[in-house]
Each structure stands twice: as C-alpha cells, then as structure tokens.
Amino acid sequence: MKKQSGSALQLDLARQIFEQARTEGWLKGSRVPEQTLARALGVSRSPVRAALKLLEQQGFLDSEPGRGFILAREPREEGPTLIPPSADDDLHAALLADRANGRIALQVSETELIARYQASRGQIRKAFIRLAAEGLAQRLRGHGWQFADSLDSEEALEDSYHFRMLI
C-alpha cells in the first residue's frame, strides 16, 4: 500500500467513500460522481476530489479525462483496510475500550480526557459527538458527557435479567 499524504478530512472522506461503495455494492466500471458524493457527505467538491485521488493512488479508482473517476475494482476485493484508521477512529475505539473495561467513569469531562488521551478538546468533542450519534453517550447539562447505561455492574446485569424474564 502506498503511503497516504492527504489531510485528515481527505482520509476520512476516502474511508467514507470506500465504505459507501462497499455497502451499496458498486460494480467495477461504475462512474463515481464528485457532485453526488459532495452532497451526500456534506462537503464541497474539492475535498471529495482529493479523496478520490487518494483512492486512485490505491488502485481502487481510475480517472478518465472528461469523465471523472471510474471504479477500478469492487471494494469487496480489498477489505476494510484500504485507508488506515484515522486518529479520530483510534480515539473513538480507545474511549469505548476504556469505558468497557472500567478505566474511565460513566460521567467524564472533556478536560480530564484531554490529558488522558493527549488529544485536543476538538478531537475529544468530535469523538463524543460520534458516540452520541451512535447512541453510546450524551451531553450533560452544564459540562461533560455521560456514556449510555450498559451492563457493567451486578445491578445492571440483574435488572437486565429480570427484564428479559418479564418479556
């Protein structure tokens, strides 16, 4: 694999485009329209074009003058590691793993996490916005974040058992 030289946004867009191609089952030879992707991803065409060029460098896309980008091979041929995980993905995974293993509390502040993960406030906030979108965390009134309730205590396990018995 060639070394990626794009910005964090471009790498993230390349991952999203690859994932979209895989989940939607794009076929080899399909045209990849910049404008449609830009609208779907909520960005302008310039970063989408840069992301498509990154995918072209990987041999996933071909470009044709006047026609734009064409799918060179189907995404299921490559697997999920075409573009390596970003620092945002690593932070997201670390937060989930640390919460699951009890290394961080149910309620946390961005300030305490900045020091723990050596990340900026923006990175921490972005990770929690993603967790909130996934239903795994919510913003607290005032400040801080709370992870969604999980089966991480004896009481929670017992409540879950009783609930399942009722159903």
Q: Residue 116 has what pLDDT?
A: 93
Task: Indicate whether 127 belongs to any domain.
Answer: yes
Query: Alpha-carbon dihedral of residues 95, 97, 102, 107, nearest 10 degrees?
Result: 20
Domain count within the chain: 2
Strand partners, 69: 32, 63
Domain for residue 147, yes or no?
yes
Residue numbers of the domain that contains 28: 8-77
CATH code for the domain of 19: 1.10.10.10
Which residues are CB-contacts of 112 (< 8 A; sequence separation ≥ 6)? none
- Whether residue 93 sits in one domain with residue 69: no
Q: What is the pLDDT of residue 89?
A: 79
Q: Looking up tokens 């005032």, which residue turns up?
A: 142
**In a domain? residue 82:** no
The residues of the chain scoring below 50 in pLDDT are 1-3, 79-80
